[in-house]
């Protein structure tokens, strides 16, 4: 810690006391790791130069969504270095509305045509629903920021109804950074996320890949880049 964190000046005494805790938290913050004061896998990897690749953090504007239903426009604006107004103007009017936001296609059997249409409207690549292993997702983020379309209700996504599927509400965020190892569990991979929620505030947060995908199985419903 003394080698990695200027001004730490810790004594090697085997005691994880308050000064050590404060130093660990400061190191985590500066290294954009989860700030929890615990010398876990991600923190130790960064401290001991045991990461599998150089940390990557892409520069993008941080744009909170202006209303409850515009996470999609704010996330796309961040990815494109644009504005919410410009994104809305470039998106076909039948794909979104001010009350419900962007139609995420989770209630239809074939989500591809409208997803392709959105990608074309904004000059983006898209990736279909998939369970990404940590290394593959990290490789994707290393190429550039990844916009993530998450579905909150897995049951609704999988439940059939006469018209197709029940569907699920969702949320869009932008992953701008990644660092870590190739542990297949994802516990050694850290992400930096730009989240446009809540309106006019937003949040920049860090999370382990393991926790991120573990919170909801449809985390990576659709990806755009």
Is residue 39 in some structural domain? no
**Tally of structural domains, the chain:** 1
132 inside domain: yes
List pLDDT tens digits, range 18-69. 766 787 788 888 888 888 888 889 888 888 888 999 999 999 999 999 999 9
Flag whether 10 is in a domain: no
In this structure, is residue 14 part of a structural domain?
no
State the DSSP code for 60: -
- Are the C-beta atoms of 204 and 195 separated by less than 8 Å? yes
Tens of pLDDT, residue by residue over 89-125, are 999 999 999 999 999 998 988 889 999 999 999 999 9
Cα–Cα–Cα angle for 5, 8, 11, rounded to 5 degrees: 125
- 215 occurs within a structural domain: yes
- Residue 137 domain-assigned (yes or no): yes
Q: Is 217 part of a structural domain of the chain?
A: yes
Domain that holds residue 160: 56-224
Instruction: Check if the beta carbon of residue 222 is closer than 8 Å to that of residue 129.
Output: yes
Burial of 81 (0-12, 13-18, 19+ CB in 10 A): exposed
No. of H helices and E strands in the chain?
A: 8, 11
pTM score over 0.95: no
Q: Is residue 102 part of a domain?
A: yes
What are 67-84's pLDDT values in tens digits? Answer: 999 999 999 999 999 999
Q: CATH number for the domain including 204?
A: 3.90.70
Distance of CA 75 to the CA centre of its chain: 10
């Amino acid at each position: 810690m003394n080698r990695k964190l200027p001004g730490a000046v810790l004594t090697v005494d085997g005691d994880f006391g308050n000064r050590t805790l404060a130093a660990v938290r400061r190191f985590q913050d500066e290294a954009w790791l989860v700030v929890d004061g615990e010398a876990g896998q991600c923190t130790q990897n960064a401290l001991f130069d045991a990461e599998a690749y150089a940390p990557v953090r892409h520069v993008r504007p941080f744009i909170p969504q202006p209303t409850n239903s515009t996470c999609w426009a704010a996330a796309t604006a961040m990815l494109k270095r644009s504005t919410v107004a410009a994104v809305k103007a470039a998106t076909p009017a039948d794909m979104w509305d001010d009350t419900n936001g962007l139609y995420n296609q989770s209630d239809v059997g074939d989500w591809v045509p409208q997803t392709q249409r959105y990608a074309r409207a904004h000059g983006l690549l898209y990736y279909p629903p998939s369970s990404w292993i940590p290394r593959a997702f990290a490789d994707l983020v290393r190429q550039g920021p990844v916009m993530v379309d998450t579905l909150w209700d897995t049951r609704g996504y999988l439940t059939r109804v006469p018209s197709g599927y029940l569907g699920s509400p969702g949320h869009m965020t932008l992953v701008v950074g990644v660092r870590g190892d190739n542990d297949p569990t994802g516990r050694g991979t850290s992400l930096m996320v730009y989240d446009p929620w809540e309106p006019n505030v937003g949040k920049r947060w860090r999370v382990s890949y393991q926790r991120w995908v573990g919170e909801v199985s449809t985390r990576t419903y659709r990806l755009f880049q």
